[in-house]
Amino acid sequence: MRHLLLLLVGLLLVLPGRALALTATELLDAVDANMTFDTRESTMTMTVTKAGRVKTYELHSYGRGATEGAVEFNAPARDKGTRMLKKGGELWMWLPNVEKTQKISGHMLRQGLMGSDFSYEDMLETASLKERYVATMGSEEVVNGRKCWRIDMTARSADVAYPKRVSWIDQEYKVPVREELYALSGMKLKVFTFSEVQDFDGRKFPTLFTAEDQLQAGSKTELRFTDLKFKVPLQEEIFSLRWLER
């Protein structure tokens, strides 16, 4: 009888927890639901701080699904007119001074976008986390004042830019609060933080991204969405080389 009682008490204690707890896959699904999109149009300011020098860019971007994106720089004057187009796994760039469209590849993809801590490769990687990584659930931690779940991710294939990724997911909003990106060797390459979460018709989305390149001391980039719309109709032309060269 005593054993039966103990078993009942045990079940009462364990079962609700099991029922409420998310698996890592479910959590990634929830994060992907917030962070990926069908279409998106946004205006952003990107502030790059390097060795105490600060430079701010204004840019306008369009996105359609995980494979198509377009960015145009509007300020400062020297960079105005620089446009980039991501199509499939390829990145194209309009060089305003040369007045040419160039395909960007290889070494260039690992360079910082306009000297920022976000690489061109970071721009290209907008596929869902679930598609790119196998995740395991970690502990509950408080990060930047938010209760989070930690998940440890390992890339599914060798062509993913960061083979290891650790994310702290906001328990309330199901968006990342902090991400640490690692090389295969275990060296920490970058730290991303996400904040100022806003609601967009039920979708939670952080409107301030920061990136810190761990290999460059004192280097930091803030990407702030000043205007952000999801599910907007976008012209087909935007995602073509013609748009780059217009």
Of the candidates 103, 131, 104, the residue with the CA atom closest to the CA atom of residue 119 = 104
Taking the complex as a whole, how short is the minimal distance between the CB of residue 91 and another protein, in angstroms? 9
Candidate list 96, 123, 128, 229; residue touching another protein; CB under 8 A: 96
Considering CB under 8 A, how many residues would be counted as binding another protein? 28
Q: Which is nearer to another protein, 55 or 224 (CB)?
A: 55
> Of the ranges 17-25, 47-55, 136-144, 228-236, which one interacts with another protein (CB under 8 A)?
47-55
In angstroms, the CA 217 to CA 22 distance is 37
The token duo for 133 is 């990584």
Q: Which is nearer to another protein, 55 or 60 (CB)?
A: 55
Taking the complex as a whole, how short is the minimal distance between the CB of residue 89 and another protein, in angstroms? 13
From residue 160 to residue 189, the character string flagging contacts with another protein as x (rule: CB under 8 A) and all else as - is: ------------------------------
Taking the complex as a whole, how short is the minimal distance between the CB of residue 61 and another protein, in angstroms? 16
Half-sphere exposure at residue 93, Cβ-oriented, CA atoms within 13 angstroms: 18
In angstroms, the CA 129 to CA 214 distance is 22
Q: Strand runs (DSSP E) across the chain, as ranges?
A: 39-50, 53-64, 68-75, 83-87, 90-95, 100-104, 133-143, 146-155, 164-170, 176-182, 188-200, 203-213, 220-230
In angstroms, the CA 180 to CA 80 distance is 32
Interaction with another protein in 68-87: which residues (CB under 8 A)?
A: 76, 78-79, 82
**Rounded to a whole number, what is the distance in angstroms from the first to the last CA of the chain?**
82
Q: Which is nearer to another protein, 169 or 244 (CB)?
A: 244
Half-sphere exposure at residue 23, Cβ-oriented, CA atoms within 13 angstroms: 5
Taking the complex as a whole, how short is the minimal distance between the CB of residue 104 and another protein, in angstroms? 6
139 binds another protein (CB under 8 A): no
Question: Contact at 8 Å (CB) between 124 and 116?
Answer: no
Interaction with another protein in 48-67: which residues (CB under 8 A)?
A: 48, 50-51, 53, 55, 57
Interaction with another protein in 101-120: which residues (CB under 8 A)?
A: 102-109, 112, 114-116
Helices (H), the chain: 2-20, 24-35, 120-124, 129-132, 241-244
Taking the complex as a whole, how short is the minimal distance between the CB of residue 224 and another protein, in angstroms? 18
Residue 168 CA to its chain's centroid (Å): 13
List residues binding another protein (CB under 8 A).
48, 50-51, 53, 55, 57, 76, 78-79, 82, 93, 95-98, 100, 102-109, 112, 114-116
